[in-house]
Structure 1
Amino acid sequence: MKRTLYVSAATAVVLVAGGPVAVAAAATADTARTVTSAAAVPGDVTAEAAAAAALKKYPGVVESLDLDGTVWHVDVISKDGKGHAELEVAADGTVTEENRDTDENAAEHKDLIAAKVTAEQAMKAAVAAHPGQVTTVEWDNDDNSAYYWHVEVKGADNKTWDGRVDATTAKVTTSTDSDSDSDSDSNDDDNN
């Protein structure tokens, strides 16, 4: 009985004396975790990594990929052309499925699925033509039904470079420099 009393008394002394220290240590650990996660640089995930993460979540073919702030919006078409998923890839690589459709018209996606040049290959070709970070890649065609990838690359000078990458040859067919650092949404009317 005396032994239990001594152990209880000793425990109480340790808790009283060590309590504030334990609370401070715990608070410091929480602050360290918060600072570390908040210190993540926006856009840590590249376009290529966002595409890979999206395809891991929803296998298929990337139809479009666009950086909006720190989040990548990725549209993926299933390999049979009947499925479509809208995904978001956060700066830390986390993938969230925003929408999924399983009754797409496969005929509408046959050219994308059969394309010799994928979105990933188009990004590589665009960066080879103009070094920088890809901010947008979109499957598109002109009035003559010639399919291509529209790719935007932001250079080290913060200028946005627009290019078309042929869906058969991966050849960059047009490019222009622009002082604009806006996203592709402002250019949608020009490209449709």
Structure 2
Amino acid sequence: MVEDVTKPALILVGPPGSGKSTVGREVARLLGLDFKDLDDDLRAAHGLEAGELVVELGRERFQELEVELLRSVLVSFDGVLALGGGTPTAPGVAELLSGRPVVFLDVDLENLLRREGLVPLHPWLLPNPRAHLRRLLVERRPIYESVAHATVPTSGRAPADVVADVLEALPAAAS
């Protein structure tokens, strides 16, 4: 069976707090599609937030669960999908995303630290969120860029402006 790389219609990647859920919901609404957040599906399936699952299970097992879920979603979901911040770093994910419409929502450290609720949602950031996030951004940016067909900056921008840029990038992401 040949895999349908037109599903989902759009995949958003980026660090935690980059706006994937906010932007994804609005893009989905404007396109008349459903929105799915992979972290929400993980929570529903396992009863814990993504950050708590990482602490509970360890990163390797958590990533195995993420990849299993992602494989399933990629063949069954046609809407707008937001991946967890670390999902693109899991083994095999770059290959799963190849040829699909992926947009990287890029955010700088200062804006990331200003985003409300980030630290409580991600306990592995403690005790020094600034240092951890700086390292995370440096390590993950090349991965996000390598799996995405377009990059949209979100720092200091209104969600509506980011949504407009994502919609504009969509034809480029799908080609």
Structure ranking higher on relative contact order (CA contacts 8 Å, 6+ apart) = 2
Higher strand share: 1
TM-score (norm 1): 0.24
Give the structure with the higher percent helix: 2
Q: Which is greater in Rg?
A: 1
